[in-house]
Structure 1
């Protein structure tokens, strides 16, 4: 036997015709050079996703809590002289707030789902654009809601001051 045919257990494995694996063909998107800034965007979105899920879930829990508290307020006002006949009005206010919380939660979950698509596609720009658009929609809604609530607070405070003034 020649030395070439002997197996050396201490020698590194060599590639033979039978051990070669076919290389995967690249898709058209994979031919483009990989941009490190896209990796940074995907990483940031991936790290943001758990917080979005947390606040979306808390929004839904808050909406349910507001409905339950509104029902409690409506049923308990018949025994309370301090609130009087305002139980139905209080329930409607709590119901409106619950709807706002539910809308905030649904927008957060839409944004989270867009982030999931970005991560699943390794940062395709069209999915990143969709995620950023969903984020813009969320913040636009929160901004409008804040302006409306500040206006309501001003009306409530102004009405309370007028009610407290001596006649």
Structure 2
């Protein structure tokens, strides 16, 4: 019940709700439906981190076992540099996947808060977490493209020089 003794107020922003910063359901619902998939991808990334760490540890273990043999390489084993590469590369990739997993989980949590509160502050927070995720992914994409371009130019130069 409204107080009949308060001064009248005009709604200058066209919002019909009692709280001008309440986010309409039409905005919250698509984000709420997205949250499930954000969580699925985040959990998948965490599982990928675990798999990468296990592969790195197993590569290091195989390398250490192969190095313990008298010849430095067990019969039928591939070259040991493959295991050294795996022991270094897989954990590094695992660490790289931690950041988007954290960012996506935080984005899902902010969506959850928005669903409960319908507040502008929570919407801005959710959008900022999404921006942070995409910024990270954009930087990683540019770095990978740069490395690929460098390797392509290096391989081409070596091929031309080798002729």
TM-score by length of 2: 0.70
Larger Rg: 1
Instruction: Tell me how far apart the structure 2 counterparts of residues 75 and 66 of structure 1 sit (CA, whole Å).
Output: 14
The alpha-carbon deviation at position 133 of structure 1 amounts to 0.5
Q: Which residue of 1 aligns with 2:147?
A: 152
Q: Deviations over 1:68-115 (max 9, x none)?
A: 112222333434754323533432221111011111111000000100
The alpha-carbon deviation at position 65 of structure 1 amounts to 0.6
Q: Which has the higher contact order (CA 8 A, sep 6+)?
A: 2
Q: Which residue of 2 aligns with 1:57?
A: 43
Q: Secondary structure at the match of 1:31?
A: coil
Equivalenced residue count is: 138
Structure 2 portions without partners, runs of 5+:
4-16, 67-73
Q: Which residue of 1 aligns with 2:29?
A: 43
**Residue correspondence of structure 1 range 3-152 to structure 2 within 5 A:** 31-32=18-19, 38-77=24-63, 78=66, 79=74, 82-121=78-117, 123-152=118-147
Instruction: Tell me how far apart the structure 1 counterparts of residues 142 and 79 of structure 2 sit (CA, whole Å).
Output: 28
RMSD: 3.0
Instruction: Tell me how far apart the structure 2 counterparts of residues 107 and 34 of structure 1 sit (CA, whole Å).
Output: 26
